[in-house]
Amino acid sequence: MKFSTVLTIFFYLVFSLNLKADNHSVLSISDNDFYIGSPDAPVTIIEYASMSCSHCADFHNNTLDDLKSEYIDTGKVRFVFRDFPFNYPALAGSMIVGCVPKDVKYQYMNALYKLQNNWIRREHSDTRKELYKIMQSGGMKQEEFDLCLSNIDLENDILEGVMSAQREFNIRSTPSFIINGVLYSGNKNIKEFRQIIDKILSQ
């Protein structure tokens, strides 16, 4: 069965069926989560993003640096990155970022958002080819690249994360931000984040 068929079936199940809930809340931050900032920060922002989403790229390219310098680097916000891929390029990008070491994950993720127009392609083979060019420039070998994209466990972890977010918070679009347990859908600029965060910090 082709991957595109599998992904189509998966999202049909996620969005069309009444899935059984488990006891694990998406608000729980696990050791497997990738985040920046202090784990003791008073504000936790969980971002659900699709790496092929132009609005997600806009946030990462134009807002995240300001958010990082003002709130994350100062110990006020812990920022958690979660994947919510809507198509094959987004899933491939998420999987590749998931395979790089944590100490460079942030840089690779933002690089893929900045170069989004270079590697998002209609044909899966073209997506892989262009994505590999970027990763190869950072030192990834073809064998490592292929092994990463064929990692079924990693793929399942990402898709299960999508399912959990949809089930608990009814997330259907990207980017979506859960800020101290409250869902904010759609892209936000730094002024909007300031209003939300400063209000929480003043309470």
Q: Note the pLDDT tens digit of each residue in 1-19.
A: 455 444 544 454 444 444 4
**Which tens digits make up the pLDDT trace of 14-59?**
444 444 444 589 999 988 899 999 999 999 999 999 999 999 999 9
Ranges assigned E (strand) in the chain:
34-36, 43-49, 77-83, 176-179, 182-185
pLDDT digits (tens, 9 = 90+) for 113-172: 999 999 999 999 999 999 999 999 999 999 999 999 999 999 999 999 999 999 999 999
Q: Which of 178, 179, 188 is nearest to 42 (CA)?
A: 179
Please give the tally of structural domains in the chain. Answer: 1
**Is 23 contained in some domain?**
no
Residue 124, domain member (yes or no): yes
| Maximum CA extent, the chain | 53
Residue 182 lies inside a defined structural domain of this protein: yes
| CATH classification of the domain holding 71 | 3.40.30.10
Is residue 137 in some structural domain?
yes
- What's the whole-number average pLDDT of the chain? 91
Instruction: For residue 30, give both structure tokens.
Output: 């696990």
Is 203 buried (19+), middle (13-18) or exposed (0-12) by CB count in 10 A? exposed
Q: Which of 100, 99, 127, 103 lies closest to 115 in space, CA to CA?
A: 127
User: What's the predicted TM-score (pTM) here?
Assistant: 0.88
Domain of residue 180: give its range: 3-15+42-202
